[in-house]
Amino acid sequence: MSPTPPDGSDQNTAHRDGTVLHVVGVHLFLERDGKVLLGLRHPDSAFAGNTWHFLAGHCEAESAVACLVREAREEAGLVIEPGDVELVHVAHVVDRPGERPRMQLVFRARRWQGTPRLREPDKCLAWSWWSAKELPEPIVPYTRVAIEGVLAGLTYSEVGW
């Protein structure tokens, strides 16, 4: 069981005053030769097991860009400088009724160092480059929506509302 966040809520309930706080996630849109990097989530993952998804994580006590840089290093051994990323899409998501809404920030890295490798095999089984026009199945629904949005030049989408 996860610890209760400092705001006094758990992930499925409202704050004491009735306010439902959003979870903030960061996602890496990494492109190379028209292909996008996606990871196959471990089957025992709490979220989207056996499903393709961005390299991603939740913001802790850090900025969104610092979180993205940290997650890229931790999950795939990639080195990304904060000045080399740009926000390219926001997906406002509710996965299931009653769950906390999420603001999913998708950042593109213009430059990076390293080759994606498995650094957290308990969370991700493989990194693979996929044609942005022929994405794998199954894929996290908002991942597909965000990739399509980035390719179409859209900066915002809503999923599950």
61-75 tens-digit pLDDT: 999 999 999 999 999
Confidence band for 9, pLDDT divided at 50, 70 and 90 = very low
Which tokens in the block code for residue 150? Answer: 């980035």
Q: What is the pLDDT of residues 97-122, one digit of tens each?
A: 888 999 999 999 999 999 999 999 99
Pairing of the two strands 23-29 and 55-58 = antiparallel
All structural domains of the chain: 23-159 (3.90.79.10)
Q: State pTM to two decimals.
A: 0.88
What is the Cβ-side half-sphere exposure of residue 73, based on CA atoms within 13 angstroms? 10
Side chain identity at residue 98, one-letter code: G
In the chain, % helix, strand, coil (3-state, to 5) comes to 15, 35, 50
Of 56, 130, 68, 127, which is closest to residue 93 (Cα–Cα)?
56
Specify the residue for token string 């990871």.
Answer: 39
Confidence band for 95, pLDDT divided at 50, 70 and 90 = confident
DSSP letter, residue 34: T
Query: Cα–Cα distance between 68 and 56 in angstroms, integer?
Result: 7
Mean pLDDT to the nearest integer, 130-149: 97
Cβ atoms of residues 71 and 77 within 8 Å: no
Which tokens in the block code for residue 148? Answer: 């399509």
Report the chain's mean pLDDT, rounded to a whole number: 91
